[in-house]
């Protein structure tokens, strides 16, 4: 049976993730005040024993979230706002659920990438560029970030989906 702290964490993840996804879809950015607010909420809920995550666990979730998302940013696969958002959500989830959220986020991001590539009629090109990005450690990032080609998409929805799945205990 779910506890009150689970419901609060699910609500916080859904609210913060949903707001971040909406803003990212609209502006293609995840603003720092939003990620800072989510992180502050996570640490505050931990400090007041409301979330079921200790302060140490909250900080460990933040660190793990940062550690997991940073390599993707360094090779150009995700934006800095996505990295900060995932780390902030880690404060709500703690380290174990943050690890699961990363797995679910990667799956959701892959599905969204395929759907968007199909909509843009560039599935083959997208798959080839993604494979090159991974194989070369980001050597083709300038091709992907080319402003004249619409290759990017909002990743906060994938983070919101992955974090919510983890918060729900999947």
Cα-Cα end-to-end distance for the chain: 14
Rounded alpha-carbon distances, angstroms, from residue 64 to 1, 25, 101, 138: 28, 25, 11, 22
Rounded to whole angstroms, the Cα distance separating 82 from 101 reads 13
Per-residue model confidence (pLDDT) at position 37: 98
Handedness of CA 19, 144, 116, 134 (dihedral sign): negative
> What contacts 66, CB < 8 A, 6 or more positions away?
83, 86, 87, 90
pLDDT in tens, the chain (170 residues): 455 679 999 999 999 999 999 999 999 999 999 999 999 999 999 999 999 999 999 999 999 999 999 998 987 778 999 999 999 999 999 999 999 999 999 999 999 989 998 998 988 987 888 788 788 877 777 766 665 566 678 999 999 999 999 999 99
Per-residue model confidence (pLDDT) at position 163: 98
Mean pLDDT, the chain, integer: 90
């Amino acid at each position: 049976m779910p506890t009150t702290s689970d419901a609060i964490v699910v609500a916080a993840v859904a609210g913060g993730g949903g707001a971040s996804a909406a803003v990212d879809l609209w502006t293609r950015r995840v603003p720092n005040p939003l990620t800072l607010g989510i992180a502050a909420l996570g640490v505050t809920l931990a400090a007041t024993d409301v979330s079921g995550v200790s302060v140490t666990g909250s900080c460990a979730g933040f660190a793990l979230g940062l550690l997991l998302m940073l390599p993707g940013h360094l090779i150009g696969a995700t934006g800095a706002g996505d990295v900060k958002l995932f780390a902030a959500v880690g404060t709500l989830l703690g380290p174990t659920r943050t690890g699961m959220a990363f797995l679910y986020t990667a799956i959701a991001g892959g599905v969204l990438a395929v759907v968007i590539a199909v909509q843009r009629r560039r599935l083959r090109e997208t798959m080839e560029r993604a494979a090159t990005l991974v194989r070369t450690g980001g050597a083709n990032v300038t091709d992907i970030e080319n402003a004249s080609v619409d290759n990017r998409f909002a990743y906060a929805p994938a983070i919101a989906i992955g974090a919510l799945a983890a918060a729900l205990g999947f």
